[in-house]
Structure 1
Amino acid sequence: MSEKNREGKRTARERMLAERADEEARDRKRKKLIIGGVVLAVIAAAVATGVVVQDQRSKPETPTAAPAGAIGDKNLIIPVGSDNSPAVLSVYEDPRCPACGLFEREFSPTISQLEDAGKIYTNYHIVSFIDRAVPGKGSRYGANALACAQDAGHFRDYHDVLYRNQPDETNDAFGDKATLINLAKQVNGLDTPAFQACVNGSTYSGWVSAVQQDFDKSSYKSTPTVLLNGQPIYPKYNNEEITPANLVKWVDAANQGKNLGTPGTHGQSPAPTSTASESNNPSPNAG
């Protein structure tokens, strides 16, 4: 690799780490503001009615509909790859998250190769918290569109298209459903009347809310959060910085002595029958 290419890779990772740090700082600020607002609201409600209102997160929503092939408790996880692969890669992402965009643009080819080789079963948690702090609906609409693509069997390809075309965090382009449908034209066979109706009708809005509530209850507070068999590997693992080469190395080490999985479909996997899914391999926030 040339010095120029190496410098480009370093720069991309530095941007990714900087975006992660900025997002964590924003999240801490948002949390303080939210806590302050909740305290004032509870006090006002108690004075007016004598009743203390519980945090909505204590009553997690059960979605009335989930995309085809979703797995885990309440079917909140979208899987990609073969469910009998020996390792589980868990990814928590928001469609508007700039650090997620940097991560995906650098790592999606490697993740796809590992899936296709039967080495990992990727479990996606599509969250949507950025809409709370930045005006717009792009996180929620983008998450719903991804669920619609899962229904059509094109989640992986559409997921990659969204992150390749991700706008700036403050630009709510994904809040325009026509934009989400137009991007589907880049995935062969996805732009159908059924997909358009699913996007325009926000078919999976309840599911999107439930996924976010599950994330709220977890110990994970920023995106991307990336786990390998339940262990955090982003931005570092065992004091090594995550890179595509290191990700392959870590997966191979975790799979040593184990049989590889049978590569499955890329966007719509059947319900898991082995121990490879999060539901049978508990992590701090197993779906």
Structure 2
Amino acid sequence: MPPRFVCPDVSEKNREGKQSARERIAVERERQKARDKRRRVMLVSAAVVGVLALAAVIGVLAANAGDDDKKDTSGPVVAPKGASGDDKLSIPLGKDTAKSRLTIWEDFRCPACKQFEVGYSPTINDLADKGQLKVEYHLATLIDGNMGGSGSLHAANAAACAQDAGKFAPYHDELFKNQPPEPDDAFADNGKLIDLAGKVDGLATTTFKKCVNDGKHDSWVAKSQEAFQKAKLRGTPTVLLDGKDIFADQQNPVTPQKLKAMVEKANQ
């Protein structure tokens, strides 16, 4: 009897080949997704750092611009609850035991400040929540002087009123999320500031509204702006990590990733 040959199951091999190809394609797609995600993160970080580096130059001009506001801020200086530092001009976030300290000078009308918050606040908040970073917020009103209007002053006063209520951090974030275009003095409208408080659970109380409408902390805000000018800072945002300006070296600024690594190393 002649030898019997068994034909290979071509269809089965084809199925195995197709399945293997699909698996390889799926794996490659996942790898590509991961590469794309890393690329997006790098591009966003680079864009934020680029905007902030530019702000380091532009901010010098803005910091030396005209009068901040025509509104009378000569009344008694009333610091918000929990304010700390020299003359109680900073609003703290995080634990005093943290080994690293981040000082942030911001203006709620400042577009570069918003870019900074978008790019860095998730890292900053995470480090503060972990007890590794103490943050000191200082509020400035230089855009009022540069562009005219009083939105920086009104927004800063409202943020101080939110601090009185223990709601500074979430209200601070809402102000930047809803920041109007720089020439638009929308934050001069106390009604808008009170409306935004409605986005923060438990903030839009009668006490908060009165604080905003009365300009309770206007003189405190003016004193903070005076301290900003006396310090001869380059503009907003000015961000100091343990006293060192993280954007001073425009060729090698501190990215969110570098900031995290530096703080975590200090806390080891």
**TM superposition score category, shorter chain reference:** 0.7 to 0.9
Evaluate the alpha carbon distance shift between residue 19 and residue 83 of structure 1 in structure 2; reply closer, same or farther with a 3 A threshold.
closer
**Counterpart residue number, 1:254:** 266
**Counterpart residue number, 2:26:** none
Corresponding position: 1:139 with 2:152:
yes
| 1:210-253 Cα shifts (integer Å, max 9, x gaps) | 0000000003121111111111113659x643322211101112
Cα-Cα RMSD: 2.5
Residue 166 of structure 1: CA displacement?
Answer: 1.1
**Aligned ranges for residues 86-105 of structure 1 at < 5 Å?**
86-105=99-118
Aligned equivalent of 2:81, options 45, 63, 68: 68
**Counterpart residue number, 2:238:** 225
Aligned equivalent of 2:182, options 169, 174, 179: 169
Residue 13 of structure 1: CA displacement?
Answer: 3.7
**Counterpart residue number, 1:21:** 54
Counterpart amino acid of residue 80 in structure 1: L
* CA distance in structure 1 between the partners assigned to 2:101 and 2:236 by the alignment: 18
**Counterpart residue number, 1:3:** 36
Corresponding position: 1:159 with 2:172:
yes
Residue 12 of structure 1: CA displacement?
Answer: 5.8
Equivalent pairs: percent with the same residue? 41
Evaluate the alpha carbon distance shift between residue 198 and residue 3 of structure 1 in structure 2; reply closer, same or farther with a 3 A threshold.
same
**Counterpart residue number, 2:8:** none
TM-score (norm 1): 0.73
Cα pair 1:226 1:232 within 8 Å, conserved: yes
3-state DSSP class of the match of 1:241? coil
Residue 14 of structure 1: CA displacement?
Answer: 2.4
User: Radius of gyration: which is bigger?
Assistant: 2
3-state DSSP class of the match of 1:121? strand
Cα pair 2:62 2:143 within 8 Å, conserved: no
3-state DSSP class of the match of 2:200? coil
Q: Could you say which structure has the greater relative contact order, defined with CA pairs below 8 angstroms and 6 or more residues apart? A: 1
3-state DSSP class of the match of 1:220? coil
* CA distance in structure 1 between the partners assigned to 2:243 and 2:52 by the alignment: 23
| 1:237-287 Cα shifts (integer Å, max 9, x gaps) | 9x643322211101112223xxxxxxxxxxxxxxxxxxxxxxxxxxxxxxx
Aligned residues: 229
3-state DSSP class of the match of 1:6? helix
Residue 18 of structure 1: CA displacement?
Answer: 3.3
* CA distance in structure 1 between the partners assigned to 2:235 and 2:62 by the alignment: 13
Residue 176 of structure 1: CA displacement?
Answer: 1.0
Evaluate the alpha carbon distance shift between residue 203 and residue 29 of structure 1 in structure 2; reply closer, same or farther with a 3 A threshold.
closer
Consecutive unaligned residues of structure 2, counting only runs of 5 or more, are: 1-33, 68-73
Residue 26 of structure 1: CA displacement?
Answer: 6.2
Aligned equivalent of 1:85, options 98, 105, 130: 98
**Counterpart residue number, 1:278:** none
3-state DSSP class of the match of 2:101? strand
Larger helix proportion of the pair: 2
Evaluate the alpha carbon distance shift between residue 5 and residue 179 of structure 1 in structure 2; reply closer, same or farther with a 3 A threshold.
farther
Residue 28 of structure 1: CA displacement?
Answer: 2.7
Evaluate the alpha carbon distance shift between residue 170 and residue 13 of structure 1 in structure 2; reply closer, same or farther with a 3 A threshold.
farther
Consecutive unaligned residues of structure 1, counting only runs of 5 or more, are: 38-60, 257-287
Counterpart amino acid of residue 190 in structure 2: K
Cα pair 1:87 1:228 within 8 Å, conserved: yes
3-state DSSP class of the match of 2:159? helix
3-state DSSP class of the match of 2:98? coil
**Counterpart residue number, 2:142:** 129
Q: Which moved more, 1:162-171 or 1:22-31?
A: 22-31
| 1:70-120 Cα shifts (integer Å, max 9, x gaps) | 011111010011112111111010111100001101111111111110001
